[in-house]
Structure 1
Amino acid sequence: MMTSTPPALTALSFRLRAGLTFLICAGVGIFAVYWLIAHVLPIYGQLWRRASAIEVPYLAFGLLMAPPIMLSCSLAAAYAFWTGKKFNPPKKSGLARFETSMIKTSVYVLVLLAPLIAVITTVALNTLNYTSCPQLRKSGSAWQTYWVIHPGFCFKPDSYTENDWPCKQVDGKTLCINMDE
């Protein structure tokens, strides 16, 4: 039986992989921050304004863990790209403490903070007399939940506007819920 050793990475190949890893980690981190700002933070503004309907994408709370781990990944990949060496800081160094703290932060956020924020959001919605409305949910979007402040806003939509507001045909007129108010 013949065994072969895997070819060693050349310096150029290592740096290219590190650069690609950096781009992926930075991209995922930026996307996670964007998604949180665009889809999670508005929930609390809508609660404050007492919007007629609020869309809560519960899976998006899991993205809270991404920024710390992606920052650590980006730092390690940038170091590897810049120096051509594997990121392996000494145990007591500031970089090692930073890397460890980012990993721990991500795990704690995913295991403790994200579920806690989702539960607190649900309790706040219930406290403010919102009720869950599964009829407003689009087909195939089981991870989104709509909450309405009045039972009349809970209906099976006939169509949606370009802003994804649900609409219903009533007496030849199209009535839509403004999800931003």
Structure 2
Amino acid sequence: MKLAIALVALIGLTAANPRPQLPTPDTPPPPLSSQEPQPVPESSTTSSTSTSTSKDAPPPVATREPPVPEGSICECGYTYCASVLMGMKKPWSQKQLAESYCKTPHASCNNNVPATNTSSALYICLCDDADQKVGTHLDLVCGCDKCLNIGPDFRGRCETPCHGGNCQMEL
């Protein structure tokens, strides 16, 4: 009995509150065909912004992702052991790693020769733009005795503490 009363009340509420009618445009939409799109009359537009529906028009610039750089790349903001960088699909070379090592400000390099082994060094991938996903610029974090790449996050880290450059201690 309660169920029947609830159903009658629900039907009554639905009947008392009809759905609003959507406005009908003054002109019918253009037919779907391969012809050029027809101009829309000024009186039928309801918004001050316009969107392009042409197949040939490129997407808006804001939605485009920057192109992936050629050659060796890394994901922005991640730390990498040199062994991971050298094992990538487009591997980094010893020469590239040594150059990145020595180009890092305050890194310990004499005559462009790294002070520690580049094969066990820890690097960070830096990018120019905040929304950039991949880049080609590595900076040395530090030279490691042994660089680790273990789960659960698989981000590079040194097994023991290290120094990335010429430390200046203040007492």
TM-score, L = length of structure 2: 0.25
Higher RCO structure, 1 or 2 (CA under 8 Å, sep 6+): 1
Bigger-Rg structure (1/2): 2
